[in-house]
Amino acid sequence: MQPNTLLDALLDEAGMSHAGLAAHVNQAGRAHGLELRYEHTAVARWLKGQRPRGRVPDLICEVLGARLRRPVTLDDIGLGVPGGGAVPPPGTPLSGFVERATALWRSDEQQRPHLLGVAAATGTPAVMPVWEWENPPEDADVSRGGRTRVGAGDLGTLRAARAHYELMYRRAGGVATRSRIVGFLNAETAPLLRGAYGDALGRRLHRAAGGLVAVAGICAYDSDELGLAQRYFHQALRLAKASGVRGLGAYVVALLVNQALFTGEYRQAVAFAETALRAARRRITPALAADLHAMQAKAYARLGDGPAALRCIGRAEWEAQRIRPGCEPDETGYVEPGLVNAQVAEALLSLGDLPGARENATAAARAPAHDRGRVHRLAILSQVQLRQGEADGAARTAAEMAERALGMESRRLRGRLREVRERLVASGSGDAEEAAGRIDAALRVPV
């Protein structure tokens, strides 16, 4: 089941509690000759995604419409189609998508219980947003009429916010950043998307909003909210399509590839990366192409397909050589020197090529990187050193990694730290105890 964020948003707007809605639905049912006995627990189930039976959805529209003094439809409450409350069904108009997207932001900011810990979609629901991004129809006109007149300065504000929150994420972690960026989406971005703008400005607006929503997804992923992260990535992908900027969509697909690698969906990771490379074609930048090929290599390596992994490594290294500073969009700034080396090291480690993995892991650790990236690179190097029997060297690398991680509120990094600690302790290294102590100190930071 998918959370019904549209119903939740209307309940909040109407100032109606779960028990209040249940009581009013029962009362409306009696007026229609129905004997209903719903309680607040039933409303909680509806918000989690359960569809009410019979005529109850229409009664909900009647109750909320009377309270809000305007017509409320089944689509408005997320019950136009089964499961339509959280994920827009195929072919949803852009205006309907905006309402669903902003309803999710609102529920996330208010930390609604039915939204916390929501599972990531699998199968067709996970693939369809990527397919829709790649294939026609395109948005012929994204203009909209609204109360707020959107100007070029508003777009600059969104772009500056994206850069600000991305930097905050890199320094403090996704857990610390998530509530702030979601608050910004609700307070600043939502009114603009619902505002008044022409087609040309609207495309730039959707492009700026898409980049910001993608960072919100990254923060949710880093907070171990994988289902929410996927929904934010799907939203960013729809915004990218509305913008007409294929490169932005390919960047968002790369984020989905990264999440698929983490969850062990290796074939999906390969397919998504191939989709991004195919759909963006010449409009994809060298940095993004290098990252996509490198992640494909990791996926193929985990699947045990060495020849395919090595082909992707070659392509990634070739693209990396073509990267020119200042010629990449803001979103691909994460592809810093050494990132491809780190990805290649992980792929070669999976293939059992320890010398090649060591060479790339060492190069990655020596290259300049932001603090978060350096923690990951040092973790990879420590892992390679352990596999090569250099337990003491691995402990020293892990100690540096733990120092870099101090103060970061990130569940992804915490998982990496625990993994390194476990392997160090098992190695029996004389320096393992000190390194484990530093890792423990980093893990004591509340998240």
The rounded distance, in Å, linking the Cα atoms of 290 and 312 is: 9
Structure tokens at 99: 């309402």
Question: Rounded to whole angstroms, how far apart are CA atoms 435 and 395?
Answer: 6
Name which of 230, 212, 208, 210 is nearest 220 in CA terms.
230
Task: Report which residue type is found at 202.
Answer: G
Please tell me the predicted confidence (pLDDT) of residue 371.
87
| Alpha carbons 433 and 429: distance in angstroms, whole number | 8
- Give the pLDDT of residue 90: 59
Nearest of 89, 101, 86, 4 to residue 43 by alpha carbon: 4
Task: Let me know: does 345 contact 388? Beta carbons within 8 Å.
Answer: no
Report the pLDDT value the prediction gives residue 350, as an integer from 0 to 100: 97
Separation CA 289–CA 275 (nearest Å): 12
User: Hey, how many other C-beta atoms are within 10 angstroms of the C-beta on 258?
Assistant: 18
What element of type H or E holds 341? Answer: helix 339-351
| Distance between CA atoms of residues 331 and 324, nearest Å | 15
Q: Kindly give the parts of the chain with pLDDT less than 70.
A: 1, 81-91, 447
- Rounded to 10°, the helix 124-134/266-280 angle is 10
Question: What is the spatial distance between Cα 250 and Cα 367, in angstroms, rounded to a whole number?
Answer: 26
The string of DSSP codes covering 34-62 is ------HHHHHHHHHTPPPPTTHHHHHHH
- Per-domain residue ranges of the chain: 5-86, 90-244, 269-362, 370-447
SS3 (DSSP) at 144? strand
Rounded CA separation 165/174 (Å):
9
Query: Looking at the chain, how many residues does it have?
Result: 447
pLDDT at 446: 73
Q: How many CB atoms lie within 10 A of CB 219?
A: 28
Tell me what pLDDT residue 13 has: 83
User: pLDDT at position 84, please?
Assistant: 46
Please state, in angstroms and rounded to a whole number, the distance separating the CA atoms of residues 168 and 442: 18
Element spanning 364, H or E: helix 354-366
pLDDT at 346: 98
Handedness of CA 248, 173, 402, 299 (dihedral sign): negative
